[in-house]
Structure 1
Amino acid sequence: MVRDPLQLRSRETLERVAAATERLLEERPFEEITIGEILRQARCSSGSFYARFGSKDALLPFLYERYDAELRPRIEARMERTPWRELTFRDACAALVRGTLEMYLERRNLMRALALYARTHPDAFSDSFYQQRREVQELPLAVLRPFLAQVPHPSPEAALRMGFFVVACAAREKLLFGDAPHAAVTPVTLDGLTRELTHVLHSYLATPPP
């Protein structure tokens, strides 16, 4: 567990360590990064590090907090750059898929480490965390709600959630864990993944269920 910083100096040390780790994650996966490299990047002593973290893995909850705090403004800024009102239903699906893939690629190694941590430590997060994450997930869904009249599903809102869930799962598995056997057996380029997931999302939403 991360010990709560009692002074501004302690907080600054935490931020330097986290920022240094994220810079290193731009180059290679978390498991290949050593504590020594983090300390050199952060200009931090081993004593200061171990006074706050018990191990390298103990960094991950703190990194998760930082990432989650930035997630909503990052999604909102990305969405504001897209003229959603001018798009057709299919074009809106394509823009949503493309934006989702780009979000995963921007900080691929960080997101991979956090995804692995969340899978192996599901009890590490509070109910309020999950509630906040659900609220953030509403942001990409909002861009498709103007097209609900074109969704012939008995529950169009539920269909939106399921469609986006499928897109996010495929993006996560292919972009974050593409070297794993279950993902590697389905080779696809980024353009191909964007095209196919757009087809999956739009076809699922626009086609009456059996």
Structure 2
Amino acid sequence: MSQGERPAKQSRSKLTRDKLVAALEHLLRQRSFEDISIADLAAEAGLSVGTVYRRFENRDALIPVIFELYAARVTQFAASPSGKLALEPEDGLRTALRQMVSQGWKFLTAEAHLVRAAHLYARLRPDLVGDEWEAFLEMAVASSLALIEHFGDEVSISGRREAAEIVTYLLNTSLIERALYPQDGPAFALTMSDEEFTAAMADAIYGYLTAPPVQAPA
């Protein structure tokens, strides 16, 4: 249960919450969270404004629900066939990275309404995110580390935990920048297609992981 949310003591109350959560996600597909009022949410859910306030103290109490939805969608994607790498025995690190980046891109574009809100409010209201977000990021680093270890013979970088952190950072920042803000900032300068972009990002990460070590000057 999120901060500012009142507990659901009856099955009817849970049903009301489910309606509100579904209405919130539907509205997020149409507009940003800051443009959604309690009245908008009540109308979308087919409930009274008073009913919304009986479940949530204020609009900010809905912010943790955004993260709840986002985390659930990531978990579902990771467990689905779409979230698994389909590699042949002869496939190497570059192919795996291209698949991974392509899958991440498809998820981001499909769930952009949740990712955009989560990305913004993780910075604006970290007090409402909770410790679960740190565990969620750690899971992403662990996934990158598992890929690096699996193709360890191809990886030349020595600090593999640090490499996994960099890979996770690059994937999150570069893909989110283009997926969520294609007309603003650095992404606006990109003229390549989505397929070319994801392949280029995968190749850039591949180059980072496989570059020969830099020799210290004598």
Match of 1:9 among 9, 12, 15: 12
- Out of 97-106 and 140-149, give the one that drifted further: 140-149
2:45 aligned residue: 42
**TM-aligned CA deviation for residue 195 of structure 1:** 2.0
Alpha-carbon deviation of 1:179? 3.4
Deviations 1:150-173 (Å, cap 9, x if unpaired)? 111122342133123212211112
- Partner in structure 2 of residue 181 of structure 1: 185
Equivalent residues, number: 209
Q: Deviation digits for residues 90-140 of structure 1, max 9, x if unmatched?
A: 110100111111111111022101111111122333335422441354235
1:167 aligned onto 2:175: no
Q: Percent identity?
A: 26
Structure 1 counterpart of 2:99? 95
Provide structure 2 residue ranges, at least 5 long, that are not aligned to the other structure: none
What is the aligned partner in structure 1 of residue 204 from structure 2?
Answer: 200
SS in 2 for 1:150: coil
Q: Does 1:119 align with 2:123?
A: yes
Instruction: State the AA in 2 paired with 1:194.
Output: T
Q: CA deviation at 1:17?
A: 0.8
Decide which of 53, 58, 78 is 1:55's aligned counterpart: 58
Q: 1:123, 1:85 → 2: CA distance?
A: 44
C-alpha contact 1:76 1:139 (8 A) present in aligned 2: no
Q: Partner letter of residue 4 of structure 1?
A: P
TM-score by length of 1: 0.86
Amino acid at match of 1:156: R
Q: Which has the greater radius of gyration?
A: 2
Between the aligned partners of 1:142 and 1:62, the Cα distance in structure 2 is 30
Shift of 1:200: 0.9
State how 1:135-174 maps to structure 2 within 5 Å. 135-174=139-178
SS in 2 for 1:84: coil
RMSD value, Cα: 2.3
Q: Alpha-carbon deviation of 1:205?
A: 0.9
CA distance in 1, matches of 2:158, 2:147: 20
Measured at CA, do residues 124 and 176 of structure 1 come closer, stay the same or move farther in structure 2, by a change above 3 Å?
same
Cα offset for 1:149? 1.8
* Structure 1: runs of 5+ lacking an equivalent: none
Give the CA deviation at 1:203.
0.9
Q: Does the CA-based 8 Å contact 1:93-1:144 persist in structure 2?
A: no
**18, 22, 25: which one pairs with 2:21?**
18
The answer to whether the 8 A contact 1:75-1:139 is kept is no
